[in-house]
Amino acid sequence: MRRMSLLFAAVSISLLAFSQSTETDEALLARTRSLYDAPFARQLVSFDCALQFDWKQHFLDTLGVVPPDAVPTIQRLQVIQHRVFVDRSGAVVSEIPKATDLSGVPHGEDLEKVLQDFASAGINAWLPFAINEILPIKPTKFTVKREDAGYKVVMAGSNVSATLTLLPDMRIANVKSELPESLHFITDFVSGPNGYLLQSVKVGPGTGDQNKSNARFDYTFQNVQGFQLPATAAVTQYASGEKWFYTLTDCKTMTGIKVNVRAPNP
């Protein structure tokens, strides 16, 4: 009888420990998520800003000189005004008030398209952190393993397979993703008034050598109606050495409360 009591106690303790471990992992994830500044996880619906880009400085940074034959093109491109609109689905850069006819400007159309592509890419690289969707989201399953250097979070779900390494202060240090695509990225965060802000992220293919990165994205931030939004962004291509640096000004936000509407019964 005593042996049965001890066995029952041992099983009860094991089940209790398992339950506490599961709750601890979930509580740890919730606490970790709360440490990050994610405006789109709060009441930010969208924002749009004027986009400032210095073509002359870009040529100086890239080539070290402005070729004389490029001056007319630069002058024509510099007067074009842009705004970027951002919501949870991504960033869209547009000319205002309408698209400019650059058919007679040497390389003008190509350069304008490249600017819009890189400017959008810079915001889109920040967006998953602004939505707070890098950390596991239900129904994705996850496990948390405590290590000397911090924590390791292993995620597995529908079209999701990734491993996150967190520092002891819960900042994400790197991510290795197999699904939805094989890639890795290395991140640095700074402390802001509302939590951790993404300072930089380096992205590369595969999950092996993390020194092999294709691009780097760097950010500074500004306060816009209580939200920390990018003030500057820089996109660096390692293969070409090009750096696309731009500034966001005159930002306007749209806020609201997310409401889940239940579909009517058939």
For 205-236, the pLDDT digits (tens) are 888 766 778 999 999 999 999 999 999 999 99
- pLDDT value at 23 more than 80: no
Share of the chain above pLDDT 90, in %: 71
pLDDT band at 240 (very low <50, low <70, confident <90, very high): confident
Q: Where are the domains of the chain?
A: 35-255
Q: What is the mean pLDDT of residues 148-158?
A: 90
Q: Alpha-carbon distance 222 to 230, whole Å?
A: 6
The residue-averaged pLDDT of 109-131 equals 97
Give per-residue burial for 129-140: e unless 16+ CB within 10 Å, then b. bbebebbbeeee
Percent pLDDT > 70 in the chain is 87
Residue 265 or residue 11, greater confidence: 265
Give φ, ψ of 178 to 5 degrees: -100, -35
Higher pLDDT, 128 or 14: 128
> For position 149, what pLDDT does the model report?
86
What number is the average pLDDT over the span 53-70?
94
Q: Across all residues in the chain, what is the average pLDDT?
A: 87
φ and ψ of 234, to 5 deg: -130, 130
pLDDT of 235 reads 96
SS3 state of residue 231: strand
Whole-prediction pTM = 0.84
Antiparallel, parallel or unpaired: β 90-96 and 141-147: unpaired
- Residue-level pLDDT at 210: 66
- The helix-helix angle for 71-78 and 108-131 (nearest 10°) equals 50
